[in-house]
Amino acid sequence: MRRRSFIHGVGAAAALPLLGALPAPKTIAAQVRDEFLHVWNGYKRFAWGYDELRPLSGSGSNFFIPSHSFGLSIIEALDTLYVMELDDELEACVTWLRSHVDFDVDGNVQMFEAVIRMVAGLLSGYYATGERFLLDASRDLADRLLPCFTKSPSGAPYRFANLRTGAVSDPKSNLAEIGSNVLEFGDLSRLTGDPKYLQASMRAYEAVMKNVSPIGLLGTNFDVEKGAFIGTDDVAPDEPADSFYEYLWGGWQMLELQRCREWYRRCTDAILKYKVVRVDGRLWFQTVDYTTGAPMGKPELTELSSFYAELVAKGGEPGVGAAFFDSWSAVLDRYAIIPTVIDYRNLSIVAPSNATRPEYANSAFDLWFLTREQKYRARAYQYFGNLRANARVPNGYADIGDVRTRPMTLLDHFPAYSFSENFKYLYLMFADSPRFDSSSYYLNTEGKILRGFKR
């Protein structure tokens, strides 16, 4: 785990702008672009070529392997730079990657993170630039991760692979890590004509879905060697189950895989039947025993679950999506920055940090394009203003260690995924970008645009 230092930052909570008081959309888009450039310039100055920026100390760090950089922030930023029309910056990234991208590394890499961040980032970069070497690099990395799938007795993947030797490790996995690859692997099969990538994803799904309970629910943690769940708790739509369901829907919407649609519908119907709970008029999702539907565990949710508002709305339950989004908006109103974990009975804080989380902004983004309701823009601008007021530092933006302090306690870390997610969601909601087709887009769970580019 990376060391993180704690210091106090500046700024205070921002208030919710009135619906009619928002600046013009293009003005907001320009503000977001300026803030993206603020942190991007910090990365270029202090951490260029490293995976991530340490904004407080003015240094860089690596995410997957401490002694080796893959240029993760560069990979994650490619499509954001494209839609923001920052072409000189994009060209600098392509130039760096052409000289440095290399996955022949003797080190263990977490398959899940590598797929949704680097395989997807290189694919999205290929779509944005047309540079063939980015597609080739994406395929090379995927090939080095495939042993996680092919060496598994069940087909559900191991968590780690050595990129050079193909050795795999850690069979104790979870739904999100097992099922968040069909978009990237399906796209690779389409682009390369090689079905092995999509086949690996579907075999992993099948290994899990063989274990669906008679009432349609799934567990959370899974032993890929035994092909069985570990424990009976179902925490969906929270982590570490979250993006499993997101990718079932994406497998249907982006790849037109009928089986993904059927699996999504069966699981979602069960989630809505057994897991919805209302407290003080707010809608939440409780942990239950996946075999019986009986409540179990603590009444807690993480900020990561807030993405589900957009997913369940896109999947055909807009009322549930709107209500769940409003529940998290109440948390935003109370704390300005949504804490990592809350007790949903009274909105009290269980874990006070926030690692520049993008899920609430992600929901606002998709719900805006789905409904065109102005409240989603207003809430997105509130989120942006609060982040700018509380997480901005001279060298960029910083993760928050404690949302309760004034000023909020900051951490010496800026996640590479924020170059792909937070600023992109916010920018595209307001910019009317000539390079993004809002009528036919699809983004993966880390905000990589896999459909929707305009030339």
Burial string for 54-71 (b: 16+ CB within 10 Å, else e) reads bbbebebbbbbeeeebbb
Q: Which two tokens mark 446?
A: 């880390």
Confidence check: pLDDT of 20 > 80: no
Which residues, in sequence order, are bridge partners of residue 343?
A: 300, 348
Mean pLDDT of 112-124: 98
Q: Which two tokens mark 59?
A: 């240094």
Q: Residue 3 — very low, low, confident or very high, per pLDDT cuts 50/70/90?
A: very low
Express each pLDDT in 40-91 by its tens digit.
999 999 999 999 999 999 999 999 999 999 999 999 999 999 999 999 999 9
Q: What is the rounded average pLDDT for all residues in the chain?
A: 95
Q: Residue 193 — very low, low, confident or very high, per pLDDT cuts 50/70/90?
A: very high
Q: What is the pLDDT of residue 455?
A: 82
Express each pLDDT in 214-247 by its tens digit.
999 999 999 999 999 999 999 999 999 999 999 9
Whether the Cβ atoms of residue 80 and residue 128 lie closer than 8 Å to each other: no
Rounded CA-CA distance 155/146 in Å is: 11
Number of residues that make up the chain: 455
Confidence check: pLDDT of 21 > 90: no
Q: What is the pLDDT of residue 6?
A: 24
Confidence check: pLDDT of 19 > 80: no
Rounded CA-CA distance 169/201 in Å is: 18
Return the amino acid letter for 352.
Answer: P
Instruction: Choose between 3 and 236: higher pLDDT.
Output: 236
Burial string for 280-316 (b: 16+ CB within 10 Å, else e) reads eebbbbbbbbbeebeeeeebbbbbbbbbbbbbbbbbe
Rounded CA-CA distance 291/207 in Å is: 17
The pTM of the full predicted model, rounded to 2 decimals, is 0.95
For every residue of the chain, which 3-state class applies, written as one string? CCCCCEEECCCCCCCCCCHHHCCCHHHHHHHHHHHHHHHHHHHHHHHCCCCEEECCCCEEECCCECCECCCHHHHHHHHHHHHCCCHHHHHHHHHHHHHHCCCCCCCEEEHHHHHHHHHHHHHHHHHHHCCHHHHHHHHHHHHHHCHHHHCCCCCCCCCEEECCCCCEECCEEEHHHHHCCHHHHHHHHHHHCCCHHHHHHHHHHHHHHCCCCCCCCCCCEEECCCCEEECCEECCCCCCCHHHHHHHHHHHHCCCCHHHHHHHHHHHHHHHHHCEEEECCEEEECCEECCCCCECCCCEEEHHHHHHHHHHHHCCCHHHHHHHHHHHHHHHHHHCCCCCEEECCCCEEEECCECCCCHHHHHHHHHHHHHCCHHHHHHHHHHHHHHHHHHEECCEECCEEECCCCCCEEECCECCHHHHCHHHHHHHHHHCCCCECCCCCEECCCCCEEECECC
Q: Residue 13 — very low, low, confident or very high, per pLDDT cuts 50/70/90?
A: very low
